[in-house]
Structure 1
Amino acid sequence: MLFDLPSPDILYDALVARDDRYDGQAFVCVHSTGIFCRLTCPARKPLRENCTFRATVGECIEAGFRACKRCHPLQAAAQNDPVITDLLARLEDRPDHRWSEPDIARLGYDLSTVRRAFKRHFGMTFLEMARQRRLREGFETLALGGSVMTAQLDASFESPSAFRTAFAKLLGCAPSDLKSDGAMRATWIPTTLGDMIAISSSSHLHLLEFVDRKGLPAELQKMQAHTPGGLGIGRFAPAEQAASELDDYFAARSGRFETPLAMHGTDFYKRVWHALQTIPAGETRSYGDIARQIGQPTAVRAVARANGSNQIALMIPCHRVIGADGSLTGYAGGLWRKQRLIEIERDLKATQAAERRSIPA
Structure 2
Amino acid sequence: MLVTEKKKIETYYKALLERNQSFVGIFFVGVKTTSIFCIATCRARKPKLENVAFYTSFKEAMDHGYRPCKICKPTGNANEAPEQIELAITLVKENPKEKITDDQLREKNISPEVLRRWFNKNYGMTFQAYQRMYRINNAYQELKKGKNTTHTAFDTGYESLSGFGYTFKKIIGKSPQKSTEENIILISRLTTPLGPMFVCATDKGICLLEFVDRQILEKEFKDLQKLLKAKIIAGENEYIKQTKKEIAEYFDGKRKTFDVQLETPGTDFQNSVWNNLQEIKYGKTSTYQQQAEKIHNQKAVRAVASANGSNRISILIPCHRVIGKNGKMAGYSGGIERKKWLIEHERNILSETNSNQIH
- Secondary structure at 1:199's aligned position in 2? coil
Amino acid at match of 2:229: Q
Gap change, CA 1:63 and 1:297, over 3 Å in 2: farther
Q: Where in structure 2 are the equivalents of 1:177-196 lying within 5 Å?
A: 177-179=178-180, 196=200
Quick one: distance in 2 between partners of 1:5 and 1:139? 55
Q: Deviations over 1:106-136 (max 9, x none)?
A: 867373x433322334444322221222123
| TM-aligned CA deviation for residue 49 of structure 1 | 1.0
2:228 to 220, 223, 226: 220
Matches within 5 A, 1:186-335: 196-200=200-204, 205=205, 208-209=207-208, 214-215=221-222, 216-221=224-229, 242=239, 245-246=242-243, 248-252=245-249, 254-258=255-259, 263-278=264-279, 290=288, 293-294=291-292, 296-299=300-303, 302-303=306-307, 306-307=310-311, 310=312, 315-316=316-317, 328=334
- C-alpha change, 1:246 and 1:89, in structure 2 (3 Å) is closer
How far did 1:154 drift?
Answer: 3.4
The CA deviation at 1:39 is 0.8
Q: Which residue of 1 aligns with 2:115?
A: 114
Match of 1:22? Answer: 23
Identify if the C-alpha distance between structure 1 residues 186 and 41 changes in structure 2 by more than 3 Å, giving closer, same or farther: closer
Task: Quote the sequence identity (%).
Answer: 26
Contact map agreement 2:291 2:304 (CA 8 A) in 1: no
Q: Pairwise CA RMSD of aligned residues?
A: 5.1
- Classify the secondary structure of the residue corresponding to 2:203: strand
Q: Which has the higher contact order (CA 8 A, sep 6+)?
A: 1
Give the structure-2-normalised TM-score.
Answer: 0.63
Q: Any idea what the Cα deviations from partners look like across 1:176-207, whole Å, max 9, x if unmatched?
A: 3454xx7x98796977577743233xxxx5x6
What code does the residue aligned with 1:220 have? L
CA deviation after TM superposition for structure 1 residue 11, in Å: 2.5
Count of aligned positions: 318
Do the aligned partners of 2:102 and 2:112 also contact (CA within 8 Å) in 1? Answer: no
Where in structure 2 are the equivalents of 1:27-176 lying within 5 Å? 27-57=28-58, 60=61, 65-79=66-80, 81-92=82-93, 94-99=95-100, 109=111, 111=113, 113-176=114-177
Unpaired runs of at least 5, structure 1: 224-238, 330-338
Over 3 Å counting, the alpha-carbon distance change for 1:270 and 1:114 in structure 2 is same
Letter in 2 for 1:40: T
Q: Is contact 1:21-1:328 (8 Å) kept?
A: yes
SS in 1 for 2:146: coil
Q: Deviations over 1:300-325 (max 9, x none)?
A: 87336632xx4x67643568899958
AA partner of residue 109 (structure 1): S
In structure 2, what residue type is equivalent to 1:218?
Answer: K
Q: CA offsets, 1:52-109, max 9 Å, x none?
A: 3344445545666554343222223344634424433443454433245676678673
Deviates more, 1:343-352 or 1:250-259: 343-352
Query: What secondary structure sits across from 2:75 in the alignment?
Result: coil
TM-superposed CA distance for 1:293, in Å, is 4.1
Q: Is contact 1:273–1:306 with CA below 8 Å preserved after alignment?
A: no
Residues 155 and 279 from structure 1, CA distance in 2 versus in 1: closer, same or farther, beyond 3 angstroms? farther
